[in-house]
């Protein structure tokens, strides 16, 4: 029963039949009503970090409502929040892609790949990143990125340079997958310092080399930006 209800919510959100947060009827194609857009604290379509090989973006800045949805899904497996998390990525990406040339690229030439789960853990990102890709007709592969070694959970590390060292040279691309794509979007749930997404971008750049001709061809997109020092640990009340 729960799975059926969840699938209907996702289907409705993807078809823009109603606000995926409050269920208010929407007359136009968008995931949220104006009231919920204000509640979710969306960021302007500007990068958090502008790197030589790409940009790091986040759809929202963490606030109580976003925190409830993100950490409820991340730490408490609340799958009923998937439509809202998908909608946050969709809303932000529609604003951002209007400023880019993504709309002139065939959707099947655009690859969406999630940050992979650590060994022994199920992916929480895959559940909404795949629906985000489907919304725009982009190709989706959950197995593009893989961890080469174990790293400490970033939310346990409270010094920026240690975070960067923790994930440095820890991700690699599965060979023979991405050569046919023109643009890539790497999806994560949260970003604080950007260290994990920077490492993922480095892995793509090292694999593609000169074929990644412009930094506008690689985007890292998180659901929310968490101000450094305000990370929520697993087990905290929401």
Domain containing 97 equals 39-225
Instruction: Return the closest-CA partner of residue 112 out of 91, 137, 94.
Output: 137
pLDDT tier at 229, thresholds 50, 70, 90: low
Residue 189 lies in a domain: yes
The reported pTM is 0.87
Residue 144 lies in a domain: yes
Residue 15 lies in a domain: no
- To the nearest whole percent, how much of the chain has pLDDT over 90? 63
Residue 43 lies in a domain: yes
Residue 20 lies in a domain: no
Cβ neighbors of 160 (< 8 A, separation 6 or more) are 193, 195, 228
Bridge-based pairing of strands 54-61 and 183-191 is: unpaired
Residue 193 lies in a domain: yes
Section 218-231 average pLDDT: 86
Residue 68 lies in a domain: yes
Number of domains the chain contains: 1
Residue 34 lies in a domain: no
- The pLDDT of residue 216 is 66
Q: Within a 13 Å sphere around the CA of 131, how many CA atoms are in the beta-carbon half? A: 27
């Amino acid at each position: 029963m729960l799975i059926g209800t969840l699938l209907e919510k996702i289907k409705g959100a993807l078809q823009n039949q109603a606000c995926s947060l409050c269920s208010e009827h929407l007359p136009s194609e968008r995931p949220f009503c104006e009231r919920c857009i204000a509640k979710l604290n969306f960021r302007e379509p500007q990068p958090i970090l502008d790197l030589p090989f790409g940009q790091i973006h986040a759809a929202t800045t963490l606030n109580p409502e976003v925190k409830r949805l993100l950490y409820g899904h991340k730490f408490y497996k609340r799958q009923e929040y998937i439509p809202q998390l998908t909608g946050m990525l969709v809303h932000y990406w529609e604003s951002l892609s209007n400023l880019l040339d993504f709309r002139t690229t065939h959707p099947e030439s655009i690859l969406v790949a999630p940050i992979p789960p650590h060994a022994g853990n199920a992916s929480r990102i895959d559940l909404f990143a795949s629906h985000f890709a489907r919304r725009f007709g982009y190709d989706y592969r959950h197995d593009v990125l893989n961890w080469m070694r174990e790293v400490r959970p970033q939310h346990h590390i409270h010094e920026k340079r240690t975070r960067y060292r923790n994930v440095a040279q820890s991700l690699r691309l599965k060979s023979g997958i991405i050569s046919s794509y023109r643009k890539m979007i790497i999806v994560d749930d949260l970003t604080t310092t950007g260290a994990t997404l920077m490492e993922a971008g480095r892995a793509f750049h090292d694999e593609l080399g000169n074929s990644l001709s412009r930094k506008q061809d690689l985007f890292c997109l998180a659901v929310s930006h968490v101000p450094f020092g305000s990370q929520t640990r697993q087990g905290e009340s929401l």
